[in-house]
Amino acid sequence: MGLTELYSLPQRVRTAENSSVERRVPEAEPELWFRLRRFNSNGADLNRGFPDAFAALRQQNVEPEVRAVIDWLKTETFVLSANLHGGALVASYPYDNSNGGKPSAIRVSAPPAGSQLTVSSVSAGPELVGRASITPDDDVFVHLAKVYSYSHAWMSRGDMCKENRPFQDGIINGYQWYPLQGGMQDFNYVWAQCLELTLELSCCKFPPPEELPALWMDNKKALLAYIQQVHLGVKGRVFDGSGVPVENAVVEVGGRQDLCPFRTNQYGEYYRLLLPGNYTFTVTTTNTNSLFFKVSENLHLL
């Protein structure tokens, strides 16, 4: 988006754009478009190739393209993202996989800059609710998906692609749609502390070039509305008694037991996307010191 177009937008949109850092990957699977197929030259489906918490951390020998994304995620604190696909018109949200609804789930941990994934067993409630695989932040994910679908020209209707099932409100839980292992949106949420949706933006998997301008207009408002959601909830910094930022402090929200705890980055920063409400935070540093505080999040939805 050019500067001229940006500054013709409403003030709230310009504020969100000017107070956020955005990163775009034009194509994570370049061979997909070159050869009109979803597999790379090694015959691997890159969107099924990320380490999967529900698959006992299998798929550690990842493809180079996947490894590049994983390494990139360690370099910055990403908060909100979207994975753009074609072939349907729906906003899909995590989880894409599950542990079968067992009452004892694994918990994984990895410092943001670390490469070693560790696993411990904890008591966590079953993530399966009906036929959906629900994250601890399901309320936020549903909100994010609806923001996109209802800001889109047609998505919220849920019935625009005749070859697909209807989608209520134009959104769907990934596992409820079809289970898959190794998806990027689950990986980003579990290990990168980044809430990600998979946005299916066209009924045609490979739309012809002449349709792209119309697709942009269908999605422009929704993309801008989605970007604004990065400022939902609570953000802050953790310092020690000397005023030095604390890295890798665990920041937990009461009632939301994540598979991998959210942690502060090298600047002591943390970001938790939350809907308006009352929350209890627990911040624990590496020397096991803990701080409890309550937050009343009464900001308007963006």
Check 63, 200, 247, 252 and give the catalytic one. Answer: 200
How does 154-178 read in b/e, with b if 16+ C-beta sit within 10 Å? ebbebebbeebeebebbbbbbbbbe
**DSSP type of residue 239:** B
Percent of the chain as helix, strand, coil, to the nearest 5:
30, 25, 45
Q: Is there a single domain that holds both residue 263 and residue 145?
A: no
CATH assignment at residue 249: 2.60.40.1120
Task: Report the pLDDT value the prediction gives residue 202, as an integer from 0 to 100.
Answer: 93
Residues 35 and 82 in one domain: yes
The domain that holds 212 is classified in CATH as 3.40.630.10
Please give the pLDDT value at position 273: 96
Residue 44: the pLDDT is: 75
Looking at the structure, tell me whether residues 222 and 274 fall in a common domain. Answer: no
Answer yes or no: are the C-beta atoms of 191 and 59 closer than 8 Å: no
Count how many domains the chain has.
2
Would you state the pLDDT for residue 3? 44
- Give dist(CA 138, CA 254) in Å, integer: 14
At residue 22, the pLDDT reads 64
Kindly report the pTM of this predicted structure: 0.84
Residue 193 shares a structural domain with residue 59:
yes
Could you tell me if residue 282 is inside a domain? yes
What Å distances lie between residue 16 and 19, 22, 102, 152, 189, CA to CA?
5, 11, 40, 19, 22
pLDDT value, residue 162 = 83
> CA 138, 17, 68: angle at the middle one, nearest 5?
65
Domain containing residue 238: 234-297
> Strand 80-85 and strand 104-109: pairing?
unpaired
Q: Are residues 107 and 138 in the same domain?
A: yes
Residue type at 4 in one-letter notation:
T
Is residue 120 domain-shared with residue 132, that is, in the same domain?
yes
Structure letter (DSSP) for residue 71: H
Where does the chain have alpha helices with state H?
A: 3-6, 11-18, 30-35, 64-73, 138-151, 174-177, 184-192, 212-228
- 171 and 118 belong to one structural domain: yes
What's the pLDDT at 205? Answer: 85
Q: Same structural domain for residues 219 and 239? A: no
Q: Tens of pLDDT along the chain (302 residues)? A: 454 554 555 665 556 555 556 665 655 555 555 555 667 777 777 778 888 888 765 556 788 888 888 898 888 899 999 999 889 999 999 999 988 766 544 555 554 444 445 544 444 456 788 889 999 999 999 999 999 999 999 999 999 898 788 999 999 999 999 999 899 999 999 989 999 999 999 999 888 999 999 999 999 999 999 999 999 999 999 998 889 999 999 999 999 988 888 999 999 999 999 999 999 999 998 766 667 676 765 544 55
Q: Which residue has the tokens 């705890």?
A: 261
Residues 207, 66 share a domain: yes
- Give the model's pLDDT for residue 105: 46
Is residue 302 included in any domain, yes or no?
no
122 with 182, same domain? Answer: yes
Query: Do 207 and 243 share a domain, yes or no?
Result: no
Q: Is 200 a catalytic residue?
A: yes
CA–CA separation, 142 and 145 (whole Å)? 5
pLDDT at residue 35 in the model: 56
pLDDT of residue 297: 55
Q: For residue 167, tell me if it sits in a domain.
A: yes
